[in-house]
Amino acid sequence: MTDLPATILWRDPGLLLLDKPSGVPVLADRSGIACLWDALTTYLAEDGLRPLAVHRIDKGTSGLLLVALNPRTQRALGQAFEAGDVHKWYVAISHGLLPRGSLDIDLPLAPGRKSRWRIAGPRDAIHLDIEASPKRYRLEGAVKDPQAKAARTRIRTLRQNDRHSLFSIRLHTGRTHQIRVHLSWLGAPLLGDHLYGRPNDPEQQAPRLALHCHRLQWPELGDGIDRPRTFRSPLPADFLALLPA
């Protein structure tokens, strides 16, 4: 049987839930590192199945990943994601501090240079609305970029020292690199984020990206299969080693 570079947490006729370690790309990239999808394709072929994509997580991100095993489940999950009925929670560690308590980050994203994303407006237009509940980061004025896509993230500070923060994060939209872009533009880039942070800053350097998808919840898929609809992934050891004191 083919070894998978991820842990299977749940499998039924329509759905596979994996716990992916940091450093494993879901799809093949320029690094040449063996990707999860190739291994998964070989693994499932032994049962006459093939993996069908539902969503992705970054190579450096660890945690929960859903994979459909038939077109019906793929369609149902795709519709659930589109409707906002699949909920994802992350834990992250940043180099930088943000106001304590819960914060909504309502900052649209647009394509940037070299496959990066950016906030769809100037940095000095980002405003913290302290009258909102919870407090909300937003762009002042109309968003003029025709390529802008709504991106909403809710964060809560769990622990903080004078340089680093531990956040609990819930995604309300699922844009590419959303958490990484939002936190970087607010001055709190993730530890280990060489794409959006300050890679030459020794206080931001880390052996892995400090982002972990620890909880995933989805609705009833209408396929008659009795399955749990919430799963959790504990923080892995290499993430725990980065926690601020």
Q: Active-site residue numbers?
A: 58
Residue 102 pairs in a beta bridge with 156
Residue 160 pairs in a beta bridge with 165
Preceding omega of 108 cis (within 30 degrees of 0): no
Instruction: Give the separation between CA 152 and CA 141, rounded to whole angstroms.
Output: 17
Where residue 180 falls (left for φ over 0; alpha for ψ -120 to 50; beta otherwise) is alpha
Distances (CA, A) of 222 to 64, 71, 79, 167, 216: 22, 13, 12, 34, 18
